């Protein structure tokens, strides 16, 4: 407690020794997200929590919904800290709830705008991250939380299918709104998830194929939806490595040399699919 008070210049009454640590930390984070009226920044709170070695005391059910839409880079760092140090089960619950909220927001926005899909880009507060970037954050949390779950009565496929199927639906619902940086973030996040889950799903040889099917479906949907986030050559290369007998039309996208970011994201996705998945080639 002393470390927190010192780092944030708090009085003992602001962060008493006998307080519930998890609740007190949540209070600090809520205060830090108030913007100009906050007494300290989110970065200061994050550094204080790390210094005090209290990361494990953070409450995922509070932190995930609070920081998921935050545009600050430190919000991503804080979510990584939560994903690496807190209860995997609570993280999964928090992500499930966040997925449901995002889906409801997107559906409501679509209905209010007479099913104009372009309205999805403003389905959240203008100061918040786009829905696609929030989905990417959820995928990164899953990549750190799911491998920490024990496969007991439930197999990897039984655990991942309901969770990742909902994420896949979100990605497909975003459609052409997942463009540019949003699309590249989603591709990179899916690749990170595949790499993280590969050793975990391999623990059960009998279930590996079923679990791989779940990851394949998510990967394929993401690549299809986000194909126009890359230069024509990059997207074509990624698609054809999965489906050698097909050619993917890229409407309105001029061929150009890929940027470093595009190349990294595409290469990572291709490596991920080759690492754990198998191409499905139509007859």
Q: Are residues 264 and 199 in the same domain?
A: yes
pLDDT of amino acid 185: 87
One domain, residues 46 and 179: no
Indicate the pTM of the whole model: 0.82
What pLDDT is stored for residue 254 in this prediction?
43
The last residue of one of the domains, among 57, 75, 102, is: 57
The answer on 229 and 93 residing in a single domain is yes
Predicted confidence at residue 176, as pLDDT, reads 63
* Ranges of the chain with pLDDT below 50: 117, 119, 121-122, 232-236, 238-239, 242-258, 279-283
Instruction: Give exposure, 58-97, as e/b (b: 16+ Cβ within 10 Å).
Output: bbbbbbbebbbbbebebbbbbbebbbebbbbebbbebbee
pLDDT value at position 73?
93
The position carrying tokens 């199927």 is 165
Q: Which residue, 274, 204, 282, is CA-closest to 241?
A: 274
Q: How many domains does the chain have?
A: 2
Q: Does 92 share its domain with 154?
A: yes
CA dihedral angle for residue 218, residue 219, residue 225, residue 228, rounded to 10 degrees: 170
Q: Which residues contact 150 (CB under 8 A, 6 or more apart)?
A: none
Domain that holds residue 8: 1-57
Terminal CA-to-CA distance of the chain, rounded, Å? Answer: 64
| Judgement on whether residues 122 and 234 belong to the same structural domain of the protein | yes
């Amino acid at each position: 407690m002393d470390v927190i008070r010192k780092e944030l210049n708090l009085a003992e009454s602001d962060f008493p020794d006998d307080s519930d640590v998890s609740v007190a930390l949540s209070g600090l984070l809520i205060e830090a997200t108030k913007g100009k009226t906050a007494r300290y920044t989110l970065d200061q709170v994050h550094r204080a929590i790390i210094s005090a070695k209290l990361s494990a005391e953070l409450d995922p059910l509070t932190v995930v919904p609070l920081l998921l839409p935050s545009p600050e880079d430190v919000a991503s760092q804080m979510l990584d800290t939560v994903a690496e140090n807190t209860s995997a089960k609570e993280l999964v619950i928090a992500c499930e709830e966040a997925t449901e909220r995002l889906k409801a927001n997107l559906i409501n926005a679509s209905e209010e705008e007479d099913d104009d899909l372009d309205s999805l880009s403003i389905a959240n507060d203008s100061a918040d991250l786009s829905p696609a970037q929030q989905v990417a954050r959820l995928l990164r949390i899953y990549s750190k939380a799911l491998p920490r779950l024990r496969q007991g009565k439930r197999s990897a496929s039984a655990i991942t299918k309901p969770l990742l199927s909902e994420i896949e639906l979100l990605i497909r619902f975003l459609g052409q709104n997942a463009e540019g940086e949003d699309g590249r973030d989603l591709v990179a996040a899916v690749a990170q998830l595949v790499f993280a889950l590969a050793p975990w799903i391999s623990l059960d040889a009998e279930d590996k194929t079923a679990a791989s099917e779940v990851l394949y479906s998510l990967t394929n949907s993401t690549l299809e939806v986000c194909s126009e986030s890359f230069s024509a050559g990059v997207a074509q290369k990624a698609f054809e490595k999965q489906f050698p007998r097909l050619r993917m039309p890229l409407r309105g996208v001029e061929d150009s040399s890929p940027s470093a970011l595009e190349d990294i994201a595409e290469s990572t996705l291709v490596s991920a699919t080759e690492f754990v998945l198998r191409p499905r080639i139509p007859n």
